[in-house]
Chain A
C-alpha cells in the first residue's frame, strides 16, 4: 500500500514556466514532508521540506504548499530551467528522528529550452 501518492508520473514544461507536482497522504500522524531531487546517475538529494504548522515554505524558486485538511502537499518550481530537469520525490514521515520516510513514486520533470 502506497503511503504517499504522487502525480503526475512525468511532466514536460517549457523554460520559464511553472512546474507543479502533487502528493497526497492518508496517515494523519505524518508531520514532516520533504521533497527530494534526483539527477540521472546520482542519489536523491533533499531539496526542501515543510512541517504542517505552516501552509507554505519558499526557498528560491521552489515552494511547498501544504493543505493539512485535504492531506495534500505540492511542489511548485517557478521560472523552470533546463537544469531543473530531474526526478522529484515527495516523502512523509512521523517526524521522529528515529522514524522512516515514505516516498512517492517520483515525477520525471523535463524542462525544454
Chain B
C-alpha cells in the first residue's frame, strides 16, 4: 500500500488566494483526520470524518477553512482567503482500527 497520499507537498501562495490541499487515505480506512502543525501550537486536530461524514470540526480555526470528503478515497481542505498566519504543515491521517497513519504533509507558506 502506498500509504496516505497528500498533494501538493509544498505550496507557496500570496495572502488572499485560495488554497486547496488534497488527501487520499489508505484504502479501507474509514476515518480521516486533518491536522495542522506549527512550532507555537504543536499538532492540532482541525476536523475528522468517519465514513465520509464530518464528526468534529471544532478545531477549524475560522470560516475561512472548510473540508470535504465526497467519497471514501478523497478529501480536501480549503482555505479561502489565505492569510500569513495559516502558514504551517498540514497533515492528513487515516485510520481503520486504532492505528492512525499520517501522510507526509503539505508545507504551506502564505506570503
Contacts and interface: CB of A to CB of B under 8 A. Distances in A.
A98 B31 contact: yes
Contacts of A46: 99-101
A100 interface: yes
A95 B97 CA distance: 10
B98 A43 contact: no
A22 B101 CA distance: 23
Nearest to B92: A43
Contact of A100 (B4, B48, B97): B48
Nearest to A2: B42
Given A43-B93, A100-B33, A100-B56, A93 B98 contact: yes
A73 interface: no
Chain A residues touching B, majority SS:
loop
A49 interface: yes
Q: How many of chain B's residues touch chain A, expressed as a range?
A: 20 to 34
Interface of B: 4, 31, 33, 42-43, 45, 48, 50, 55-56, 91, 93, 95-105
A89 interface: yes
Contacts of A52: none
Contacts of A34: 98, 100
A64 B103 CA distance: 25
Interface residues of A, number: 21
A97 interface: yes
Q: Which of B4, B33, B102 has the most CB of A within 10 A?
A: B102
A100 B42 CA distance: 16
Given A43-B93, A97-B31, A98-B55, A103 B43 contact: yes
Contacts of A11: none
A95 B98 CA distance: 7
